[in-house]
C-alpha cells in the first residue's frame, strides 16, 4: 500500500483523525478513542528525493548510453577500416593489373614502331636495290642487244662479201 498522500495534501496542512483502539475495560463503555490533530502535515518523502532519483537515473542512463555509443563507434570504426583496407587492396590489384597491361601495350607499340622503321628501311633499300637491279638488268640487256647487233652486222658483212644478198633472205 502506498503511504504517500495525494500531491495536494503535501502542500497544504490537513486535519488527521486517527482511531485508536483501546482495550475495553469494564469501566469504559466506548471501545475507541479518537484523537484529532488539526495542523498536521502528511508525512511524505521529500520532493528532493524524487529529483535526486531522477537525476541519478538520468546520469546512469547517460553514462550507459555513452558506453553503448562508444562501443558502436568503435565497431563502426573497425568495420570502416576493414572496408577501406579491402577496397584499397582491390584498387591496388586493379591498378597493378592496369599498369601491367599498360606496360605490355607500350612494349607492343614500341615493337610495332621498330618493325615499321625496319620495314621502311627495307623498302628504302629494296627500292634502291630494285632500281639498281633494274638498271643492272637494263644495262645487261643493252649489252646483249649491242652484242647481237654487232654479230648481225658481222653476219651481214660476211654474207655481202660472199655475194649473197642479205635482203633477199
pLDDT tens sequence across 125-135: 777 777 888 88
Q: Is the pTM of this model over 0.75?
A: no
State pLDDT tens for residues 79-106: 999 999 999 999 999 999 999 999 999 9
Backbone φ and ψ for 104, nearest 5 degrees, come out as -65, -40
CA distance 143 to 21: 166
pLDDT on residue 33: 65
Work out the end-to-end distance of the chain between its first and last CA atoms, rounded to an integer number of angstroms: 162
CA distance 26 to 141: 176
pLDDT on residue 16: 52
pLDDT on residue 130: 78
Number of residues that this document lists for the chain:
169
Q: What is the mean pLDDT of the chain?
A: 78
Backbone φ and ψ for 32, nearest 5 degrees, come out as -125, 145
CA distance 117 to 111: 10
Q: What residues in the chain have per-residue pLDDT under 50?
A: 1-14, 18-25
b vs e for 90-124, b when ≥16 Cβ sit within 10 Å of the residue's Cβ? eeeeeeeeeeeeeeeeeeeeeeeeeeeeeeeeeee
Amino acid at each position: 500500500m502506498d503511504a504517500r498522500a495525494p500531491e495536494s495534501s503535501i502542500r497544504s496542512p490537513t486535519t488527521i483523525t486517527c482511531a485508536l483502539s483501546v482495550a475495553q475495560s469494564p469501566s469504559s463503555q466506548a471501545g475507541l478513542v479518537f484523537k484529532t490533530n488539526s495542523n498536521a502535515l502528511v508525512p511524505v518523502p521529500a520532493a528532493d528525493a524524487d529529483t535526486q532519483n531522477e537525476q541519478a537515473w538520468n546520469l546512469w542512463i547517460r553514462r550507459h548510453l555513452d558506453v553503448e555509443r562508444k562501443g558502436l563507434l568503435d565497431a563502426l570504426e573497425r568495420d570502416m577500416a576493414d572496408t577501406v583496407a579491402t577496397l584499397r587492396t582491390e584498387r591496388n590489384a586493379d591498378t597493378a593489373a592496369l599498369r601491367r597491361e599498360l606496360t605490355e601495350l607500350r612494349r607492343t607499340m614500341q615493337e610495332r614502331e621498330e618493325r615499321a622503321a625496319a620495314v621502311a628501311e627495307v623498302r628504302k633499300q629494296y627500292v634502291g636495290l630494285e632500281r639498281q637491279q633494274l638498271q643492272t638488268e637494263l644495262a645487261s640487256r643493252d649489252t646483249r642487244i649491242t652484242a647481237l647487233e654487232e654479230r648481225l652486222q658481222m653476219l651481214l658483212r660476211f654474207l655481202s662479201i660472199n655475194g649473197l644478198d642479205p635482203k633477199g633472205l
